[in-house]
Amino acid sequence: MAQNAVIIPEKIFFKIGEVCDILDVQAHVLRYWETEFPMLSPQKNRSGQRTYRRRDVEMALRIKALLYEDLYTIAGAKKRLQKEIREGSRLKIVKTESEVVKEVEAASKEDSIESELLEIEDFELEPELPDSKPEQEKVELSGDRREALKSLASQLLELREMLKSDQTLKAEEHIKKL
């Protein structure tokens, strides 16, 4: 169960509903974790509402990962967190919205189809044969086969770009929801 990338908005305080949306758990689960894990202790404002800080959200994400991904029991997750805190190891780093947007923009600029097509033309289409044979024979490709391979590579790159742009759109939609 691999965890999807989680984006924590750039805010100082979060309400319980916002944290539940980020973690994709219900509020009663989060309140229960607060009773079981002393290291998860959000402050309460004057009206008694929980106000979570970024470190609280990161701690809750770590708890969720231990319980749902690593399949620890509550007691086991508590011991593991206490050990991690004693050892001074950092919690999983979660990226902010602006960091994710910058990464998406950089990836789209770097990965252009044209530059990759140029790399394909330089690609050696003649495979190497195993070392067990003393004489290496070169496989000659006809012009038609060479063009077919280039066309196939071009189509694969276009598919990859379509997948990347789909992921970019999903990240942008997620950011808009926040």
Longest Cα–Cα distance of the chain, Å, equals: 83
pLDDT for the residue 143:
76
Residues with Cβ within 8 Å of residue 82, at least 6 apart in sequence: 39
Q: What is the pLDDT of residue 128?
A: 54
In the chain, what are the domain boundaries? 7-93, 98-177
* 8 A C-beta contact, residue 26 and residue 3: no
Q: Report the run of H or E that residue 95 belongs to, with start and end.
A: strand 95-96
Q: Is the Cβ–Cβ distance between 154 and 115 less than 8 Å?
A: no
For residues 56 and 42, is the Cβ–Cβ distance under 8 A?
Answer: yes
Q: Is 123 helix (H, G, I), strand (E, B) or coil?
A: coil
Mean pLDDT over residues 24-32, rounded?
96
pLDDT of residue 164: 75
The CATH class of 7-93 is: mainly alpha
Give the percent of the chain with pLDDT over 90. 40
Report residue 148's pLDDT band, with 50, 70 and 90 as the boundaries: confident
Instruction: Name which of 43-47, 58-62, 115-119 the model is least confident about.
Output: 115-119
Q: What is the mean pLDDT of residues 130-148?
A: 64
As a whole number of Å, the end-to-end CA separation of the chain is 24
**Is beta strand 50-51 parallel, antiparallel or unpaired with respect to 43-44?**
antiparallel
* Closest-CA residue to 50 (of 65, 67, 32, 68): 32
Helix (H, G, I), strand (E, B) or coil at 158: helix
Specify which residues 95 forms β-bridges with: 7
Report pLDDT digits (tens) over 92-120: 545 566 666 666 666 666 555 555 555 55
Residue, of 159 and 17, whose pLDDT is higher = 17
More confident residue, 150 or 89: 150
